[in-house]
Amino acid sequence: MIKNDLFLKALKGEEVSRPPVWMMRQAGRYLPEFMALKEKYDFFTRCRTPELAAEITVQPIRIVKPDAAILFSDILVIPQAMNIEVEMKAGVGPWLPSPIRSAKDVDQVIVPDIDETLGYVMDAIKLTKEMLNDEVPLIGFAGSPWTILCYAVEGKGSKSFDTAKSFCFSQPEAAHQLLQKITDTTIAYLKKKVATGVNAVQVFDSWGGMLSPEDYQEFSWPYINQIVEALSPLTEVIVFGKGCWFAMDTMAKSKASALGVDWTCSPETARKLTGGNITLQGNFDPSRLFTPIPQLKKMVHEMIDRFGKDKYVVNLGHGILPTVPVDHAKAFIEAVKEYNS
């Protein structure tokens, strides 16, 4: 039994004494302990070495003490497993030397055997679970099929992903074939994570907000929903679509346990769009963590009041920034733990 199960209770919509809290990208670059490992090992070595991934996952549990851990990994391990080369270039970020640009390219993409290609992730889960010793739940995650397609086609990060979008609009058949392959791989991957021991999963649609509401319903949501349908009988599923407030009413009708909210959507709007019946997660602006601590704590309490303490998971509206002082990250977590309704 997990000793602190506030997070799982909130995902199930149960009444809680206070909302649970964790931070997207909490296992990462704002922690000096993480940076010490980053100096020694390159990015994908950290992802592929179970001992390193487990240590990085558990660091924030020791240091800032959130109510849930999220496995250190990357959304781009999926395309790597699918026969798409992905590098992490210093100063550039993700770099794909041979991006997908045609139906012929899509044919070369495989739906892999998860044990053969991503077994190292499962080994990291097992080690992490041992290190956590049932103190808090462990979250597994994947990128949405659309977000993975964005990188696979664009070949790198982008402010607008115009190349990826034009591929979808000019070659829709190839795009849907690629999206389905990514979806099938992601479902198998997340199912294996659940079987290995994660207590919930989150799907990150980081680039969903690049699409119009109509195109979102064609190229992103149907594939996310396949993942939700396949995983919801097995575990709690959180869907976080950055900039996707326009689809929240549709998402709320799915079998997802919770929906992530970014900082551009107010708590009141998010509750209204989702009908008030689903757990929401978010939505503190990551840059707001630079606010002086007394004011920061006050803002967190006000955010909880606006969302309501039940059916709510306190989080940021996107990942924590690398320059956030550790004391401010701690204060964000402490503010939630000090909350009295």
Q: What is the pLDDT of residues 177-196, one digit of tens each?
A: 999 999 999 999 999 999 99
Residue 341 has pLDDT above 80, yes or no: no
Please give the pLDDT value at position 340.
Answer: 86
- The pLDDT of 298-306, averaged and rounded, is 98
Q: What is the mean pLDDT of residues 282-309?
A: 98
Span 201-230, pLDDT tens digits: 999 999 999 999 999 999 999 999 999 999
6-337: what fold? TIM Barrel (3.20.20)
Is the pLDDT reported for residue 85 higher than 90? Answer: yes
6-39 pLDDT, tens per residue? 999 999 999 999 999 999 999 999 999 999 999 9
pLDDT value at residue 35: 97
List residues forming the annotated binding site.
25-29, 44, 74, 151, 206, 318
Q: Please give the pLDDT value at position 61.
A: 98
* pLDDT score recorded for residue 91: 86
pLDDT in tens, 121-146: 999 999 999 999 999 999 999 999 99
Note the pLDDT of residue 186.
98
Which stretches within the chain are classed as H helix? Answer: 6-11, 32-40, 43-48, 50-63, 77-81, 103-107, 114-132, 145-154, 162-170, 172-196, 213-219, 221-231, 248-252, 267-274, 293-307, 326-337
Q: What percent of the chain has pLDDT over 70?
A: 100
Q: Residues comprising the binding site for substrate?
A: 25-29, 44, 74, 151, 206, 318
Cβ(82)–Cβ(111) under 8 Å? yes
Question: What are phi and psi for residue 43, nearest 5 degrees?
Answer: -55, -55
Q: What is the pLDDT of residue 33?
A: 97
- Residue 286 has a pLDDT of 98
pLDDT of residue 337: 98
Contacts 24+ apart (CB under 8 A), 103-108: 103/171, 103/173, 103/174, 103/177, 106/174, 106/177, 106/178, 106/181, 108/83
pLDDT at 192: 98
Contact 9, 141 (CB under 8 A): no
